[in-house]
Structure 1
Amino acid sequence: MDAEEIVQVYVKADSKDAPRNPRLSGFRRVALKAGEEKRVIIPLDHDLFTVIDNEGHKVQAQSAALYIGGSQPDERSAQLLGKAPLSLKIGR
């Protein structure tokens, strides 16, 4: 069956000042025919590693976790969809 999927990219900077939950940093709607696979390019902001500390200063994390898939990276979404987003760690 043909369908549309929204590929989502969530980012969580590795910093004590980062929000508890990953933030949605990019997405792309993709139309797919039955059995089709596509490579998707999703532009991300240059500030993936930037977080704001409690004093309002910008802090640069040295690494971040990326979560790429059809949902946010939480246990309930994985249960509902039957799969979790792909996760990978990147450094500056």
Structure 2
Amino acid sequence: MKKDMLLIIDGVLESEKDDPETFDINLRNQLKEKIFLMPEYDTYKLSVYANFVDLYDFDSNQQIIRQIVKALKKKKSKGKTKFYLRLY
């Protein structure tokens, strides 16, 4: 957990950089990998992604957002199913 927090802190500092010549590509890739290895789109994963959205290019962000919407729709429909089962 400590290692993850240090990675996030480094990521916050990295996301503030404006000059592409100073970008730490290895760190950016570690952050991207960390986000994708999280098992589901919960509040924590969404907040981590939101903090580092600028590390991704436009096409990657578009793809990620589609995945998030799809996962949330699936989660929402499962919640409805549970609700309906409780009624019976």
TM-score, normalised via structure 2 length: 0.27
Instruction: Answer 1 or 2: higher relative contact order, Cα 8 Å, separation at least 6.
Output: 1
Higher strand share: 1
Greater per-residue helix proportion: 2
Kindly name which structure, 1 or 2, has the bigger radius of gyration based on alpha carbons: 2
